[in-house]
Amino acid sequence: MLALALLGMPWRAARADGPAVAVDAGHTLAAPGATSARGRPELEFNRDLARRVADALRRHGIAVREINADGRIASLRARPAQAAGADFFLSIHHDSVGAHELVPWTFEGRVLDYNDEFAGHSLFVSRDNPDTARSILCARVIGARLQRLGFEPTHKNGRRRAYADRQHAVHYYDGLAVLRHATMPAVLFEAGVIKHRGEELLLRDPVRQARMADGIATGIAACLRNGVPAADEAEADGPAH
């Protein structure tokens, strides 16, 4: 209990004058998630983007706690537990496809697999979260901002998950521990499909990562400060790629 209290002290101080967001890098060193078409672990993609989102949020004047930055977090429940005191919880991931949808190929002497059919970002919320309505609102605002910037979503309806908001690619995923155990509004963000050979390269581009991160941060800031999709009113900055 003492350790948790000490952990929370600088967090409370940092967020005294405005909103606070917990940014979680999905997966761990022990369980690094999906493997990309070229053999890179999902965890590495997640950590890259999570760092950029955290930096972008700070530029918006939002206090940030980075969760699992070292990839060594103990459990799924520890993620939302470390977010205690935040106004919003965001878990960063990168997507894959079903095993039956993969095609083998050889890259740099390694036998790997890919799927070039599915690409794009998506967002997930849980109806078991204590503030589902706010979770959906923030997911919608993030999705709207990203589409305004030219990022294209993927759609899973009919494949895996029902929609909370079809237009902005917000899906229900009620059983996700990081969403349903969060005590604040929570969204899981899939940045793209790393099994898609073309999108994998885009997802590794630092300039594009920064652009996506800024879109996410702008959406979160608008949702937390105004509760309205203010980011949607901004002029687009051109296509994402």
More confident residue, 241 or 52: 52
Quick check: is 129 in a domain? yes
pLDDT, tens digit, 9 for 90 and up, residues 75-120: 999 999 999 999 999 999 999 999 999 999 999 999 999 999 999 9
Domain count, the chain: 1
Report field, pTM of the whole predicted structure over 0.85: yes
- CA angle centred on 151, ends 147 and 155, rounded to 5°: 80
Of 81, 92, 83, 27, give the one whose Cα is nearest residue 55: 92
Is the distance from CB of 60 to CB of 217 less than 8 angstroms? yes
What's the pLDDT tens digit per position in 179-221?
Answer: 999 999 999 999 999 999 999 999 999 999 999 999 999 999 9
Which residue segment(s) compose the domain that 73 sits in? 19-228
Distance between CA atoms of 70 and 172, rounded to whole angstroms? 28
Spatial distance between the Cα atoms of 199 and 177, rounded to a whole number of angstroms: 28
Where does 149-195 have alpha helices with state H? 177-180
- 34: CATH: 3.40.630.40
Task: Judge whether 7 lies within some domain.
Answer: no
